[in-house]
Structure 1
């Protein structure tokens, strides 16, 4: 994939939201003045701040590692993907040819890991590989409610999907054409944009 035109750089959160519901990205970029802020968003920010402080005191056993260096709130930017974002934590383990970079995201949820979260982790892994070098083959989602980490394999297939999704986002925003709603109306129940979609719920 060649370097993208930098006229628009999406965030990794945009990518995650697009996988969950493309309309969120449409509203964000095509109707930017209407985006509301919800209690859920604010609560998530506070929970992430507390999680980082606790993480500093923990061992790496939750990730199946005996040792490694932790980097918190790491900003990444990829000129190839055309994405920017802040990953909650990066674990740097091993040295030389065995050096491994592992992106970790904290989630305030007990639910199983959805495809949108897998795409988010995969994007961070691709960005780490581009900007930091080293091997990136897996990531983790740490549930703040279950206090447990779950491994996510960052496969070639997922990487290809990330590239395709970024291309789709550019196309949607440039055409200013809103996508159909999600297949499941359950995804719309707590959405901050629900009142703007007149064809669901």
Structure 2
């Protein structure tokens, strides 16, 4: 079973998004925000083709847009916004870039999505990927992200937990009360008494212990 890399981002935001996408699919409307984000991505790609790599602190390289990447070992696949190939013979050659239309904050779910892309590129090219970029569209700024072994380990754990949700039809706890208020799936959850953040974290620890010992 192949997991879409966007599921990594969704799981970190809230595991129930994965549940409602796979186990109990529910109707989803394309919001204005989603349409706007798509148009912003298209406009960015057009501008990127005319720009240098100065904002990435790279001298030269080729850019590939909407590149399909995958990992057979991790059963992951997805479409990366931009891949920069510096054609370097030593050091890091390939740099993944994920573009986001956000308020400027670098959220953890976006970082782990980038890490998953990096892991796919490593497997596909047999080269190390220890750095990547998150490009914040409103800021027109590329943020350098250092990719660590601990982050890669956590992505592996997330993929195992996603598979558990899908295969065992496991109904996970919501991530936090704050996120529930703005979530498009709130009307389907109907939790009268949402758990505290501490309880959610403890539930995650117990689940990981069950999966990995």
TM-score, scaled to structure 2: 0.85
Q: Are positions 1:85 and 2:78 aligned together?
A: yes
Matched position secondary structure for 1:191? coil
Q: Are positions 1:56 and 2:58 aligned together?
A: no
Q: Deviations over 1:6-54 (max 9, x none)?
A: xx21100011100110000000001224333322222211111111111
Q: Are positions 1:112 and 2:125 aligned together?
A: no
**Matching of residues 20-39 of structure 1 within 5 Å:** 20-39=13-32
- Is the contact between residue 7 and residue 18 of structure 2 (CA under 8 Å) also seen in structure 1? yes
CA distance in 1, matches of 2:60, 2:191: 51
CA distance in 1, matches of 2:92, 2:14: 36
Question: Which among 121, 126, 130 is matched to residue 128 of structure 1?
Answer: 121
| Structure 2 partner of 1:161 | 154
- Is the contact between residue 37 and residue 192 of structure 1 (CA under 8 Å) also seen in structure 2? no
Question: Which among 191, 200, 204 is matched to residue 199 of structure 1?
Answer: 191
* Deviation for aligned residue 1:174: 1.3
- Is the contact between residue 104 and residue 139 of structure 2 (CA under 8 Å) also seen in structure 1? no
- Is the contact between residue 28 and residue 35 of structure 1 (CA under 8 Å) also seen in structure 2? no
- Is the contact between residue 104 and residue 138 of structure 2 (CA under 8 Å) also seen in structure 1? no
Q: Are positions 1:146 and 2:139 aligned together?
A: yes
Matched position secondary structure for 2:90? helix
Query: Quick check: 174-183 or 145-154, which moved more?
Result: 174-183
* Deviation for aligned residue 1:165: 0.4
Provide structure 2 residue ranges, at least 5 long, that are not aligned to the other structure: 195-213
* Deviation for aligned residue 1:58: 1.1
CA distance in 1, matches of 2:178, 2:141: 25
- Is the contact between residue 83 and residue 94 of structure 2 (CA under 8 Å) also seen in structure 1? yes
Query: Quick check: 128-137 or 143-152, which moved more?
Result: 128-137
* Deviation for aligned residue 1:133: 2.7
Provide structure 1 residue ranges, at least 5 long, that are not aligned to the other structure: 1-7
Query: Quick check: 89-98 or 101-110, which moved more?
Result: 89-98
Q: Deviations over 1:146-173 (max 9, x none)?
A: 1111011110000000000000111111
